[in-house]
Structure 1
C-alpha cells in the first residue's frame, strides 16, 4: 500500500488545477480563474510504488469535475501536453503532475480496479479501502490495459485501449448516472451525490 505523506506541496494541487482547468474543452467556467474546492475522490496503488495515483473531485461555481492525476518523480516521456504542472513535495521533492488519462500506470491500475484485481483506497488515509467507490463490471477482463489514444469531449475523456475497449471517464459529474465505477462527492451546496466516474465501452 502507498504511504500518504501529510506534508506541504508548493504549489498545492488546487493551485495547479486553477491554472490548468480553464484550458480544458470540458471546463464550464468563464474567463475568470476558477475558485476551486476539493470535494472528494480516491486513490489507487502503483504496485511498483513509483507513481502516485489520485482521482480528485473539485467544485467551482459552474460544475463538479473529476480529475485523475498521476504524480511522478521524473518527467513522463512523450507526455508534455498532459503535464498539469510541477510541485515541490515536502518529503519526496520535485513531482511532475500529469493528467492521469495519459499516464500508462494510472490507466493500467484503473483497469485492475474494474477487473476486481485492485481496491480503491481512501484519498487521505494510508492503507484504508474507500468503500464509497462501487465497481460493477461483468464483461471480459480488461487485463494489462495499454493506451492507444486519448480524446477529450465536452464532458468526458475517452481512453481507447489497444485491446479495443475504451474507458470513458466523466469530467463533468452528473448525479445519478450509472457506470462501471461510481463514487460519492460533496456538491457545492454541501449535499452528497453519487455519479458515474468511469464507463467501459467495448466494440460491438
Structure 2
C-alpha cells in the first residue's frame, strides 16, 4: 500500500507560517530581517506508519532571500525531551491543540527521512478529509531518495548529538543524518534526498550515512 497522509480542511491559529516567522530569527543559520514575513514556496508530506504524527517538508522564503528548508512535525501531545525543537503550539479546528516541532529533533521524521533516502522513496500521497469524504490531491513537491528499493533500514533510535547549523547534523547510534537548511548550492556524498518543485531541477535536501 502506498504511503499516504490524511489532511483536513481546517482553520489553524496561529498558522504554520506565523509560527515559522517567529522561530526563524532564533536559528543560527537564518540570515534575514528580524521579522521575516515568510511565504510558502512548496511543501509535501511523509507518512507516519502509526498514523499519529504529521510530518511535513516545508520550503519557505523571506523576501528575495534563498529558499529555506523547514521540516516540521505535528503532534497531539508534547514530544518527550523535545523542548529544544519546539517551534510552538497551534489550535487546529478539527484536531485541537497541536505541538509543532522542528522535525530534525523528532524520531518519527528522522526514521521517515532515513527510510526515504535509503530505499529510493518519496513523498506520501495526500488525501484531504472533507464533508464528502476523502479527496486525493497532488503534492506540490516531489521527493526522491537515491537509494535502492528493498534496502534494509536500521531503526534510527535516540538522538546522541545534534548540530543546529547549515547543514544540521543529527547523530544516532545507527545513522548520521544531514539536513540542508539554505537551499541552492548544497551537495552531499552518499545517499541523498532531493526535492523538485515548480518544474525546477532536483535540489539536495538531506543525506544519510550509516554508522
The TM-score, its normalising length taken from structure 1, stands at 0.85
SS of aligned partner of 1:133: strand
Q: Do 2:162 and 2:170's aligned partners in 1 also have CA atoms closer than 8 Å?
A: yes
Q: Do 2:126 and 2:136's aligned partners in 1 also have CA atoms closer than 8 Å?
A: no
State the alpha-carbon separation in 2 of the partners of residues 78 and 66 from structure 1. Answer: 23
Q: Do 1:42 and 1:55's aligned partners in 2 also have CA atoms closer than 8 Å?
A: yes
CA RMSD for the aligned pairs?
Answer: 2.6
The offset of 1:56, in angstroms, is: 0.2
**Structure 1 residues 51, 174: CA separation in 2 closer, same or farther (over 3 Å shift)?**
same
Residue 197 of structure 1 pairs with residue 205 of structure 2: yes
Q: Do 2:126 and 2:138's aligned partners in 1 also have CA atoms closer than 8 Å?
A: no
Aligned with residue 192 of structure 2, among 163, 174, 180 = 180
> Which string of whole-angstrom CA distances, capped at 9 and with x for unpartnered residues, describes residues 146-185 of structure 1?
23222122x211111211x311111000157466110024
Report the count of equivalent residues: 196
Aligned with residue 143 of structure 2, among 103, 109, 133 = 133
Match of 2:49 in 1: 47
SS of aligned partner of 1:3: strand
Match of 2:102 in 1: 99
The TM-score, its normalising length taken from structure 2, stands at 0.82
The offset of 1:116, in angstroms, is: 2.2
Residue 75 of structure 1 pairs with residue 78 of structure 2: yes
SS of aligned partner of 2:168: strand
SS of aligned partner of 1:2: strand
Higher strand content, 1 or 2: 2
**Structure 1 residues 47, 6: CA separation in 2 closer, same or farther (over 3 Å shift)?**
same
Aligned with residue 19 of structure 1, among 19, 22, 41 = 22
State the alpha-carbon separation in 1 of the partners of residues 82 and 59 from structure 2. Answer: 22
Aligned with residue 36 of structure 1, among 35, 38, 49 = 38
Q: Do 1:57 and 1:185's aligned partners in 2 also have CA atoms closer than 8 Å?
A: no
Larger displacement relative to structure 2 (173-182 or 54-63): 173-182
Q: What are structure 1's unaligned runs of at least 5 residues?
A: none
Q: Do 2:178 and 2:208's aligned partners in 1 also have CA atoms closer than 8 Å?
A: yes
